[in-house]
Structure 1
């Protein structure tokens, strides 16, 4: 079988000396941008002669000529009846659209960062906005939006599951990350990303040493035992003969606070609350408020939970347990930067709602104690956007103890 010989015009287009022209055109046309001229070179004498013949020039072009695309189009059409694009595709290969590809990639990146900023976990805990900004500054993993989104989704899955239930890190990782017990091993990209988020929440520097990283995981409830994590409670009088109900009830009836371990909370046994009306359980940030309440009300103290600062796994567990038994949860904390972050965290992790934590409550407290310490790093309060603005305006923190009398008055009303 014989192949037909190319027509003379086709042979002219395929001259080796014209390859610089076709490759340059391929590169420029693949940019996705308008092309009116192309610059070649440096060309040797043979290439200059071939270009002059192709374009019908009466003299040799420069070694670095700038050629109008319209002139090339005219010559190609005359020789082959095809367009420049068709010819370049035939001689070099399919054209790209680099500008279009860049626009597509920019759109994918914009969608990725918008998804991250709008994620439920980030919106519920605005302090994570600094973390999302750092993620954007670091850029894509391997230049891939898909790989980056997968990594960020895993990090957000981990953050949503914290605080952990005093599980060892490999056990926690296997539970929340598709059975991969090594996903959060020290030094992995995911572990580093999650620890950066935790450091941002706690307003701390990213951990640099192994002990720093272990301590940060421990704050998030990743530990080797369920006895170290404890929570202070007062006034809890659950029904039932389970160990948790009996311990809490005995302490409440004698006007004492109880320190409950995560082990007790995870295995409460028979434990129930009154249903009509549903009990209101107040939660506070500072142990001094719980101490004041127990001292004032004694055996009549209403149900109280103290997070003792950042709520650990025991604090979150008891609040969820109480909510599951029908309790209505209310939370109050310090009016400072960390207090706002703690409140946002607790409100995201439990069904609790704010208790005297509005901008109006803050302004009333500042009017009584106008010269407090600086509030520190401030982030949005999801339950009241005006609160952070008011705190920025006054530049004053109000610790919970300074409004203890107001809180105790509310508790007194609760037991009438």
Structure 2
């Protein structure tokens, strides 16, 4: 019977027909209706005509009824029908829908711990959707069995950030049992860095090399080392050279106690500190620069100043990135706006277009509304003379 079936359907010229039938069976479709073959060879046409016992039409293409083939196979006595013939000639048929469902279940299980964690942290919901859209996890761990443990470790890391300040090796050791698990280039390090960027409002995909990685982790309260996290200031008690800008490392600040400084002005850009040093020197009142997204050193210094009884006045760029930085400082430290309100914004003449996503300004809700309406960007350099005047008068 097997030889009979091989002679009937097993030749190379009918292989296309058997494969079309197998494809249908694998996808759970019945062997009914027709299948076609374009640009059929003479051998393929003759083989089909021999199978059916009739002419197979004219032209380059072939169209055949699967119902008719099934009847021919049954009538031949070679097997129980076309579906049986496919199995005998090609082996067991896979149930592709069932396999796909199993894979989907496996991937849902792999993401289960992470999804449960993200459900309680709306600030990570956009990042979680990005993981699916970008396919990052499946590139790093192609199989669900491999991805599951990876995502469980990622969840353990996320449960510990943002942090009040922890070295990345310690975070990795405590969360994963491997001090190098979050190293640059490791799968977990790549995923966790994207989450850290999400937590501080940055694009999820990594950019900026080592400096960008350091800044993203720093904004999440994790430092790569104590010496690369810096903060720039002027006029603080204990500065080694009065009137000159001073850079403190996180290492120095972690060993410092509260700093009593009264009112402390906080700016976003180093140009303000440099100009204040040039024009005011030792007469400049306490001034701290966050220099973009605050590093751990910045947060540590602000915390020490707050512990010493300091009050803060803040100024930054009038753009949505500057607003996000100011909001982070306001949420953690609180401040009085230093020419950083709607009235001050409206007074500046500028036509630089404002891009980005609008954000609230809780220290002055009218500022966000004014920026959306006016849609121009004002950098600190444009109001530098006013800021220096404030510093000059204390």
Normalization by structure 1: what TM-score?
0.52
2:269 paired with 1:229: no
Alignment-derived partner of residue 184 in structure 1: 183
Aligned length: 344
Q: Where do residues 241-260 of structure 1 align in structure 2 (5 Å cutoff)? A: none
Q: Where do residues 12-411 of structure 1 align in structure 2 (5 Å cutoff)? A: 14-19=5-10, 20=15, 21-31=17-27, 36-39=33-36, 42=41, 43=43, 47-48=47-48, 51-52=51-52, 57=53, 59-61=54-56, 65-75=62-72, 84-85=82-83, 88-89=86-87, 91-92=89-90, 93-97=92-96, 101=100, 123=123, 132=130, 136=134, 140-141=138-139, 144=142, 146=144, 150=150, 178-181=177-180, 183-185=182-184, 194=193, 201=202, 206-207=207-208, 213-217=209-213, 219=215, 225-226=226-227, 229-230=230-231, 232=233, 261-268=249-256, 284-285=267-268, 288=272, 306-319=289-302, 333-343=316-326, 351-352=332-333, 363-369=342-348, 371-372=349-350, 374=352, 377-381=355-359, 391=371, 393-399=373-379, 402=383
Distance between the aligned counterparts of 1:382 and 1:156, measured in 2?
A: 31
With over 3 angstroms needed to count, the CA separation of the structure-2 counterparts of 1:392 and 1:203, relative to structure 1, is farther
With over 3 angstroms needed to count, the CA separation of the structure-2 counterparts of 1:260 and 1:143, relative to structure 1, is closer
Distance between the aligned counterparts of 1:145 and 1:259, measured in 2?
A: 48
Q: CA deviation at 1:27?
A: 2.0
Q: CA deviation at 1:312?
A: 1.7
Q: CA deviation at 1:201?
A: 4.1
Tell me, which stretches of 5 or more residues in structure 2 are unaligned?
A: none
Q: CA deviation at 1:179?
A: 1.8
SS in 2 for 1:39: strand
With over 3 angstroms needed to count, the CA separation of the structure-2 counterparts of 1:16 and 1:74, relative to structure 1, is closer
Over the aligned positions, Cα root-mean-square deviation in angstroms equals: 6.5
* Counterpart contact for 2:360–2:368, Cα < 8 Å: no
* Counterpart contact for 1:32–1:100, Cα < 8 Å: no
Cα deviation code 1:281-339 (max 9, x no counterpart): 986535759x79xx9xx9xx9x9865243312211234567889999999653212431
With over 3 angstroms needed to count, the CA separation of the structure-2 counterparts of 1:380 and 1:368, relative to structure 1, is closer
* Counterpart contact for 2:229–2:297, Cα < 8 Å: no
SS in 2 for 1:230: strand
Cα deviation code 1:100-153 (max 9, x no counterpart): 949987xx79x99xx7xx899994799x89x95997398951793857895898
* Counterpart contact for 2:36–2:63, Cα < 8 Å: yes
* Counterpart contact for 1:375–1:395, Cα < 8 Å: yes
With over 3 angstroms needed to count, the CA separation of the structure-2 counterparts of 1:121 and 1:100, relative to structure 1, is same
* Counterpart contact for 1:283–1:304, Cα < 8 Å: yes
Distance between the aligned counterparts of 2:203 and 2:63, measured in 1?
A: 61
Distance between the aligned counterparts of 2:28 and 2:335, measured in 1?
A: 55
Distance between the aligned counterparts of 2:327 and 2:124, measured in 1?
A: 7
Q: CA deviation at 1:47?
A: 3.6
With over 3 angstroms needed to count, the CA separation of the structure-2 counterparts of 1:23 and 1:11, relative to structure 1, is same
Higher RCO (CA < 8 A, seq sep 6+): 1
Distance between the aligned counterparts of 2:215 and 2:253, measured in 1?
A: 18
Cα deviation code 1:371-406 (max 9, x no counterpart): 22625652342667997775354232234685978x
* Counterpart contact for 1:184–1:191, Cα < 8 Å: yes
With over 3 angstroms needed to count, the CA separation of the structure-2 counterparts of 1:267 and 1:90, relative to structure 1, is farther
Tell me, which stretches of 5 or more residues in structure 1 are unaligned?
A: 1-5, 208-212, 236-247, 274-278
Cα deviation code 1:163-202 (max 9, x no counterpart): 99696x87776576642427534x667767849997x949
* Counterpart contact for 2:45–2:56, Cα < 8 Å: no
Normalization by structure 2: what TM-score?
0.55
